[in-house]
Structure 1
Amino acid sequence: MPMSRPALLPLAVLTQALLLTACSPSAGGGAGEADSAADAGGTRTIDNCGHEVTVGAAPERVVSLNQGSTEILLSLGLEDRIVGTATWTDPVMEGLEEANAGIPRLAENNPSFEVVLDAEPDFVTASFVSTLGTGGVASRERFEELGVPTYVSPSDCAAGKDNGSGGDGSRSEPLTLDVVHGEIRDLARVFGVEERGEELVAGLERRVETATEGLDASDVSLMYWFANSESPYLAGCCGAPGAITRAVGAENAFADTHDEWPQISWETVADRDPDVIVLGDLTRESQTAETAEAKIDFLEANPATRNLTAVREERYILLSGQAMNPSIRTVEGVERVADGLRDLGFTR
């Protein structure tokens, strides 16, 4: 609904807006590229998904609109700066329960623009371009007009990502974990905790190395099912599941599909007959077959799927929804898929 919010914006936000500004540059640079120069006052500038985000002081009141973004902030020890979160698919990442406990949940899905402004944010983050776009909470420009800078995960505007192709978009180039690391470094820079960011990235890199050491899963085909039993969302080649698959050295049953999460018929799945099915175990309630239990019940009862090799042999690996999206938990996905393949005897 149209609102004349500038006159109503709280004094605290107006004051902070003098220190934090964001604008859309005439020519956008690569997502997540940080300006290496800082002025005498400590100003930091980050080129983020075509928006130049300039921070003159570390934000004090952050609203994080997606779980993935929230978990990065929590992992950086910034829980005291978060005044609201939204759009969760899973319980919070293990080890962050206490840090997350006191943070207000503004909505289970996208909150309204007004609800976000009521939290008096001086910085807004999101994991997806669509969250701060048409049909989402509000455009980045609407926040920026009020002096509230915004940041979107560079994984959703990385090279080759087309968000205008419908659904969750498509990728012509494979996503890499380096893009997730770039998001961590960007946010650490915004808040002046660069050392924490480097420690977090180094820890994630060590975890991938440990999980995949000595692993040979070549010739093993994986199918990733996120949600929906009628017209299932299955992973295409090049998103987070693709990064997981490459890390463990396996094959994606739908590597020939560039859509992020295409909806594919069960008859086509039967034709591909994947060796292992990786199931999203979600706790939200917006689609059919959200939990892994519901997915398994469907697979074992449906005539089109019950004779799949993976179903007959009960070759399932369970992942959180966040591990199947580009996020700090994609590394968790690498670990669980690697462990699952070993448990199923699919490694050499």
Structure 2
Amino acid sequence: MRQRAVVGLTLAAVFTVGLSGCGASEAVEPAASAAPGQGSTAYPVTIENCGVEVTVDAAPQRVVSLDQNSTEILLSLGLEDRLVGTASWTDPVLDSLAEANAEVPRLADNAPTYEVALGADPDFVTASFGRHFAEGGVASRDRFAETGVSTYLSPTDCDNGTSINGGGTRTTALTIDALYAEITELGEIFDVSDRADALIADLKTRAEAATAGVDFGGATVAFWFADTKTPYVAGGLGSAALLSSMTGLDNVFTELDDDWPATTWEEVADRDPQVFILGDLQRDRFPGDRLDDKVAFLESDPLTKTIGGVRAQHYIALHGAELNPSIRFVDGLEKIKAWWVEHEGEL
């Protein structure tokens, strides 16, 4: 049997002060003139944030980030000294952010309780996914507000003022502008807009390089995030669909509205994707979170081993954070391009 075509590359951007800004794999170097709270932001700042009006009178000093995506943005903006707690990790922190993250308390690997979050004494709470603010989550935004804590939800999880992961349905396709808006707004809130601008500029440069010349020509793909029993696959409007549209792949579940709907293996087999993009999650929340378990399942199950992408072993491995709407989307694009360069002509 030939070696599996799994790409798991570590690709880091090179940071050059004043020239290239900073990418998803590098933290922004703080400028002497832009220490948090000493820059150009005119307080108070009011932002319309997914149906909630958020006002901050000064740069937040004690921040709890409820998701890895949000945490890595804050670390990339050089705000590790403001973080008093993080949670909901699917993967290890980016290598380039590990030192900055080392002293930040992790409140929970998944979602913390409200009491644990409040125990960190935050004055600001950020989240990438609205489930944390929904019923059954950490706490509602109103409940945090009652204790004087402002909250912020990533625009990538918002559609017409409603949180997608908080119970809403996405009606329009996610664009990368929503992620850039999150970086811009956090830069303004924390008075580090110059760092936010540099981060966005580098993400754009890397994304352009990662998609240049890449065209899968409509080859069919299924994105499998987690769970061997009831697989969670990518629908047609979320972040994974964004990756496929930028590289010429045709998502076989493009008609589904949910970001990560559950389906059946019979349905996956019926659609017979030529390529699988597999979530390599460094956690053990669902059966098959990890890449090796996913591949072992696909190649041993009597039904899945008949699928074209499995027979050809056309697997592209991405970390969970690269499949979610985060600064790591460029790392995902770079891995997809690396696989395409190696396997062009096989599809």
| TM norm. shorter chain > 0.5 | yes
Q: Which amino acid aligns with 2:326?
A: S
Percent of aligned positions with the same letter in both sequences?
A: 49
Larger RCO (CA within 8 A; separation ≥ 6): 2
String of CA shifts for 1:263-300, please: whole Å, max 9, x gaps.
11111111111111000000111111000100000000
1:332 aligns with 2:331: yes
User: 1:311 is paired with a residue of what secondary structure?
Assistant: helix
CA contact (8 A) 2:50 2:160 kept: no
User: What residue identity is the alignment partner of 1:50?
Assistant: G
Q: How many residues align?
A: 308
Corresponding position of 2:84: 83
Q: Equivalents in 1 of 2:192, 2:346: separation in Å?
A: 40
- Cα distance change on mapping 1:48 and 1:249 into 2, 3 Å: same
Q: In 1, are the aligned partners of 2:159 and 2:171 still within 8 Å (CA)?
A: no
Question: Helix, strand or coil for the counterpart of 1:151?
Answer: strand
Q: Does 2:220 correspond to 1:221?
A: yes
Q: Tell me how far apart the structure 2 counterparts of residues 277 and 259 of structure 1 sit (CA, whole Å).
A: 19
Matches of 1:43 and 1:153 in 2, distance apart?
20
Amino acid aligned to 1:137 = V
Looking at structure 1, the residues matched to 170 and 254 of structure 2 have their Cα atoms a distance apart, in angstroms, of: 11
Q: Show the counterpart of 1:343.
A: 342
How is 1:254-265 mapped onto 2 (pairs within 5 angstroms)? 254-265=253-264
Report if the CA contact (8 A) 1:216-1:347 is conserved.
Answer: no
Shift of 1:141: 0.5
User: In 2, distance between residues paired with 1:307 and 1:185?
Assistant: 46
What letter is aligned with 1:325?
Answer: N
Taking structure 1 as the reference length, the TM-score comes to 0.85
CA 1:323–1:160: 2 relative to 1, 3 Å = farther
Alignment correspondent of 1:95 = 96
Query: 1:51-103, CA deviations, whole angstroms, 9 ceiling, x for partnerless residues?
Result: 11111111111000111110110011100100000110111123111111111
Out of 323-332 and 234-243, give the one that drifted further.
Answer: 323-332
Shift, 1:41, TM fit: 6.1
Match of 1:313 in 2: 312
Whether the 8 Å contact between 1:225 and 1:277 is mirrored in structure 2 is yes
Give, in whole Å, the separation in 1 of the partners of 2:255 and 2:117.
Answer: 40
8 Å CA contact 1:175–1:239 kept in 2: the answer is: yes
CA distance in 1, matches of 2:169, 2:236: 9
Q: Which runs of 5+ in 1 are unaligned?
A: 1-38
Give TM-score, length-normalised by structure 2: 0.85
Q: Deviation digits for residues 138-197 of structure 1, max 9, x if unmatched?
A: 00101111111000111111349663896xx53221101110010001111100000100
- Which residue of structure 1 aligns with residue 108 of structure 2? 107
Farther off after superposition, 245-254 or 274-283: 245-254
> What does residue range 30-69 of structure 1 map to in structure 2 within 5 Å?
42-69=43-70
Shift of 1:338: 2.1
* 2:306 alignment partner, SS class: coil
Change (3 A) 1:241 1:341: same
Distance 1:162 1:200, change over 3 A: closer
**Shift of residue 260 of structure 1?**
1.3
CA–CA distance in structure 1, aligned partners of residues 346 and 65 of structure 2: 39
**CA contact 2:66–2:86 (8 Å) conserved in 1:** yes
> What's 1:251 paired with?
250
Query: Which residue of structure 2 aligns with residue 29 of structure 1?
Result: none
Per-residue CA deviation, residues 18-46 of structure 1 (Å, 9 max, x unaligned), is: xxxxxxxxxxxxxxxxxxxxx99632111
Cα 1:209–1:160 change in 2 (3 A) is farther
Query: Secondary structure in 1 aligned to 2:81?
Result: helix
In structure 2, the CA distance between the partners of 1:268 and 1:190, relative to structure 1 (3 Å rule), is: same
Report if the CA contact (8 A) 1:160-1:171 is conserved. Answer: no
Write the letter of the residue equivalent to 2:220: S
Give distance in 2, aligned partners of 1:182 and 1:342. 32
Aligned partner letter, 1:290? D
Question: Partners in 1 of 2:240 and 2:82 — Cα distance?
Answer: 31
> What SS does structure 2 have at the residue aligned with 1:226?
strand
Deviates most, 73-82 or 337-346:
337-346
Q: Which residue of 2 aligns with 1:283?
A: 282
CA distance in 2, matches of 1:151, 1:158: 15
Contact 1:68 1:328 survives alignment (8 Å): yes
The residue type equivalent to 1:69 in the other structure is S
Relative to structure 1, the CA distance from residue 340 to residue 164 in structure 2 (aligned partners, 3 Å threshold; closer, same or farther) is closer
Give the structure 1 partner of residue 11 of structure 2. Answer: none
Q: Which residue of 2 aligns with 1:154?
A: 155
By how many angstroms is 1:305 displaced? 0.5
Cα pair distance change 1:240/1:100, threshold 3 Å: same
Aligned to 2:273: 274
